[in-house]
Amino acid sequence: MKPNFVILFPVAQNVHLIKDVGQIANALAAKGNYNSTLVCYNNSPNYNNQQTEARHLKIHFLKPKGQFLFMEKAVLNYLKENAQKIDVLQLFHLTKESIYYGLHYLKYNKKGKIYLKMDVYNEMLEQGITYSKKPLFQWFHNLKERQFLKKITVITAENPLSLALLKKSYPIITDKAILLTNGINVAYVAENFPERLKFHQKQNIILSVGRIGVEEKNYKMLVDAFCECDYSDWKLVLVGPIENKFDEYVSKKIVANPALKHKIELVGNVEDRVSLYEYYNQSKLFCLTSPFESFGIAFTEAMYFGNYVIGTSGHSSFDFITNEEQLGIKVPIDDVSILIKVFNERILDNSKLAANASIANKQVVDKFNWSKIVEPLLDRLK
């Protein structure tokens, strides 16, 4: 009988199934090593990604029962009732919740294994984690943190720098910490795109995918830079739910410069994953201007389809993803003038974009492929 692998992520929505929350466990189940189950509340109208990229993952929905201190009673009850049947419990982020849920699980299954996925900004590791503003509470949580870290089986970070900082900040887990990056479900994408467009077949599109208009993604920087660059026969395509009336901001830009009328496309949300991947397939250049990203899975999705990628200096894993900027370039946070310069250089001379297209795809297939990514985790759990 296969062992049971349970991911505890109460806030999981449908979108999380195609990220690390769903894909690690899905890959382990696809390989035949575990029965994988995600435990969460029913937070989305549907979880249709379970029928596509997370088809090997089961979902158990919790019924809300209120809170005990900062913990969910439904989670505590679930762990108490099911701990003996859980061989590996996966938790996310080094938080109060993860610490106490993990210790609660081990209370009822002393032989259980805990896998903690950090998914953290490098800056946070350098500064240290604050659990409470009250010194006494912080002291107590730190005691529990140490107890928790001594008992976990494996802990992972997403890039080599994060891993080094993790070991430096928490020497107690040095022998338990390994690199486990993020990536994409290459098997699923290849199944739906047996042949990707070659560079000369692509359109002159700068693509970005995310929550369009939210402050933490800083799409204003991207739009401002595009409006001032030598866009010529290029266009900017933004895919994702539009928030904070960002469409009005774009409309004002177009009113001020009518030449932009057919140059900026706000697509809106695209639920269907194959349809979303088609945008990557059509584009040549992918850009995220968010000030901070712990990883940026969208970069690997874009690179699989041969896109040259542009990020910011706040993206913790950008150098790792792009082989020290061989397959992309990062610009300073909120520096519109530098981004304009980069756009102009790449738009006016496509040679660098064309040269990197096939190399970028190989980078993802070899390095950011969930089926391969989970191998070191499997070894540790054995």
| Number of domains into which the chain is organized | 2
Residue at which a domain ends, from 158, 180, 202: 180
Distance, C-alpha 222 to centroid of its chain: 20
Question: Whole-angstrom Cα distance, residue 108 to residue 105?
Answer: 6
- 238 dihedral zone (left: phi>0; alpha: psi -120 to 50; beta): beta
**173, 199: one domain:** no
Same structural domain, 196 and 149:
no
Element (H, E) at 328: strand 328-331
What are the C-alpha distances in Å from 286 to residues 49, 170, 238, 300, 345? Answer: 23, 36, 10, 10, 15
pLDDT of residue 370: 97
Question: Residue 87: which residues within 8 A CB-CB, separation 6 or more?
Answer: 3, 4, 5, 34, 112, 113
What integer pLDDT is reported at residue 274 of this predicted model? 95
State the burial class of residue 195 (Cβ atoms within 10 Å of its Cβ: 0-12, 13-18, 19+). exposed
Q: Model pTM?
A: 0.91
**Nearest one of 148, 150, 174, 152 to 163, comparing CA atoms:** 174
8 to 13, 156, 300, 378: CA distances (angstroms) = 13, 16, 25, 18
> How many residues are listed for the chain in this entry?
382
Same domain as 201, residue 113 = no
Do 176 and 193 fall within a single domain? no
From the list 100, 96, 79, the residue with the least C-alpha distance to 4 is 79
Question: Both tokens of residue 87?
Answer: 């061989």
**Looking at the structure, do residues 31 and 106 belong to the same domain, yes or no?**
yes
| Tens digit of each residue's pLDDT, the chain (382 residues) | 899 999 999 999 999 999 999 999 999 999 999 999 999 999 999 999 999 999 999 999 999 999 999 999 999 999 999 999 999 999 999 999 999 999 999 999 999 999 999 987 677 777 778 889 999 999 999 999 999 999 999 999 999 999 999 999 999 999 999 999 999 999 999 999 999 999 999 999 999 999 999 999 999 999 999 999 999 899 999 999 999 999 999 999 999 999 998 999 999 999 899 999 999 999 999 999 999 988 899 999 999 999 999 999 999 899 999 999 999 999 999 999 999 999 999 988 888 899 989 999 999 999 999 999 999 999 999 8
My answer on whether 103 and 150 are in the same domain is yes
Query: Which one of 180, 205, 231 terminates a domain?
Result: 180
Is residue 310 situated within a structural domain?
yes
Residue 11 has what pLDDT? 97
Helix (H, G, I), strand (E, B) or coil at 342: helix
Instruction: Answer with the one of 134, 157, 180 that is the final residue of a domain.
Output: 180
